[in-house]
């Protein structure tokens, strides 16, 4: 049997072995870490296995249960009160599990989307290629699979022979997300790590910030799901009679076109900003239980909003200066 690890503070990792060894007749129900001031239940510190969360991806057994728990965790992350109502800072982070969590979610969706798009190319692109362009088939199939991340461009001769090819990141899809959304969601853990309240007073281990940040990225599943739904819609809606007039070569690949509309994009961005603020409020107040937690959150909120505006503006000005 694997020996139990020595007791330590859930928030800062301070070794509590000396405190536990000082007990003579009985064990107190609660304790306070002398290093960071966290109040905790000794039962949760000494008996980790008795307080596991069945649906939590970090606590699930391997195999099929891990895949199912990934989606159960995702459903609860969307409602932060449900997630932080069950997952406490006393639950030791398991980086291998939560770092693979997004892969568990996105890989099946992206794989299905790739299959659907390859089928679309086979049905509605390849049969309508001009004579002599048969060599383009491989490029069309490759783009159907790689399009969310990379695009392959080719140069052809008048007869249709491929004379050269290049690849480039498909930036028109994910670049707006990187410029506008990344500063908003990334400012919270970065500033939290730099704050004296977090680092010097509460001594929160960085792994807790990383875990909260990773689970806050649940929304990355949405673009993958839109790509899959878009492909399924085209598979059902497009008929051979429409194939010659419909831009099929581009249509199956427009996986994020839904957000191209400015009104929809602003609504989505505003909802995500509000959700992110709510998520980190509960992470700071209920989960990490920082000293003066509400003041810390109130300080971080304008910083997050400011970074959302300042970073894209700086990138735009830098691009103008270099052009």
Q: Predicted confidence band at 143 (pLDDT cuts at 50, 70, 90)?
A: confident
Looking at every residue in the chain, the average pLDDT score rounds to 81
Question: Between residues 146 and 290, which one has the greater pLDDT?
Answer: 290
Sign of CA dihedral 226, 229, 279, 94: negative
What integer is the mean pLDDT of 13-42? 87
pLDDT at 243: 47
- Output the furthest CA–CA distance in the chain (Å, rounded): 91
> Kind of pairing, strands 150-156 and 30-32?
unpaired
φ/ψ bin of 86: left (φ > 0), alpha (ψ from -120 to 50), beta (otherwise): alpha
pLDDT of 205 above 60: yes
**81-117, pLDDT tens digit by residue?**
999 999 999 999 999 999 999 988 999 998 998 899 8
The model's confidence at residue 262, banded by pLDDT at 50, 70 and 90, is low
Res 250 pLDDT > 70: no
**Could you give phi then psi for residue 15, rounded to 5 degrees?**
-70, 120
Q: Above 60 in pLDDT, residue 253?
A: no
Structural tokens at position 215: 């689970």
**Rounded CA gap, 243 and 249, in Å?**
10
Is the pLDDT at 196 greater than 70? The verdict is: yes
Joined together, the tokens standing for residue 268 give 């989505």
**Are 98 and 59 spatial neighbours (Cβ–Cβ below 8 Å)?**
no
pLDDT at 18: 87
Residues 148-189 have pLDDT tens digits of 777 777 766 666 566 666 776 665 556 666 777 888 889 999
User: What is the pLDDT averaged over residues 1-21?
Assistant: 82
Flag the least confident range among 53-62, 63-72, 128-137, 146-155: 128-137
Closest CA to 66 of 24, 27, 96: 96
Residue 228 has pLDDT above 80, yes or no: yes
d(CA 149, CA 315): 21
pLDDT, position 245: 42
Let me know how many helices (H) and strands (E) the chain has, helices first. 14, 4
Query: Residue 154 pairs with which residues in a beta bridge?
Result: 165
Predicted confidence at residue 171, as pLDDT, reads 56
Extended strands (E) in 90-213: 150-156, 162-169
Instruction: Give strand ranges (E) for 148-232.
Output: 150-156, 162-169
* CA–CA gap between residue 228 and residue 112 (Å, rounded): 7
Asked whether the predicted pLDDT for residue 1 surpasses 70, the reply is no
pLDDT at res. 144 = 82
- d(CA 280, CA 99) in angstroms, rounded, equals 19
Mean pLDDT, residues 10-37: 87
3-state helix, strand, coil in the chain (%, to 5): 65, 5, 30
Q: CA distances (Å), 78 to each of 81, 208, 220, 271, 285, in order?
A: 9, 19, 12, 12, 18
| The residue to which tokens 């598979």 are assigned | 235
CA distances, 216 to each of 15, 95, 99, 184, 308 (Å): 30, 15, 12, 11, 16
Dihedral angle, C-alpha 242, 246, 248, 251, nearest 10 °: -130
Predicted TM-score (pTM) of the model is: 0.84
Provide the strand spans (E) within the chain: 30-32, 39-41, 150-156, 162-169
Q: How far is CA 62 from CA 68, 148, 247, in A?
A: 10, 29, 44
Specify the pLDDT at position 159. Answer: 62
- Residue 249 has a pLDDT of 42
Position 151 scores a pLDDT of 75
Tell me if residue 205 falls in helix, strand or coil.
coil
- Per-residue model confidence (pLDDT) at position 129: 73
């Amino acid at each position: 049997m694997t020996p139990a690890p020595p007791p330590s503070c859930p928030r800062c990792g301070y070794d509590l072995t000396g405190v536990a060894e000082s007990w003579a007749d009985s064990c107190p129900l609660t304790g306070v870490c002398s290093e960071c001031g966290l109040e905790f239940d000794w039962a949760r510190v000494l008996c980790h296995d008795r307080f596991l969360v069945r649906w939590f991806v970090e606590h699930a057994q391997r195999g099929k249960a891990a895949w199912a728990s990934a989606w159960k965790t995702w459903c609860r992350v969307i409602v932060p009160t449900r997630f932080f109502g069950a997952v406490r800072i006393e639950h030791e982070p398991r980086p291998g599990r939560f770092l693979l969590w997004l892969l568990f979610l996105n890989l099946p969706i992206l794989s299905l989307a790739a299959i659907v798009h390859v089928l679309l190319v086979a049905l509605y692109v390849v049969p309508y290629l001009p004579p002599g362009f048969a060599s383009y088939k491989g490029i069309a199939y490759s783009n159907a699979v790689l399009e969310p991340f990379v695009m392959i461009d080719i140069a052809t001769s008048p007869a249709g022979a491929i004379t050269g090819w290049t690849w480039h990141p498909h930036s028109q899809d994910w670049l707006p997300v990187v410029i506008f959304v990344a500063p908003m969601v990334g400012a919270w853990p970065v500033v939290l790590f730099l704050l004296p309240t977090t680092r010097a007073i509460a001594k929160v281990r960085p792994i807790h910030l990383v875990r909260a940040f990773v689970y806050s990225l649940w929304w990355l599943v949405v673009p993958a799901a839109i790509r899959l739904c878009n492909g399924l819609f085209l598979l059902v809606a497009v008929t051979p009679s429409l194939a010659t007039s419909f831009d099929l070569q581009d249509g199956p690949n427009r996986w994020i076109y839904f957000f191209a509309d400015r009104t929809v994009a602003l609504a989505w961005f505003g909802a995500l900003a509000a959700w992110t603020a709510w998520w980190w409020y509960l992470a700071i107040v209920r989960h990490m239980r920082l000293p003066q937690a509400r003041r810390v959150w109130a300080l971080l909120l304008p910083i997050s909003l400011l970074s959302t505006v300042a970073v894209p503006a700086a990138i735009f000005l830098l691009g103008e200066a270099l052009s």
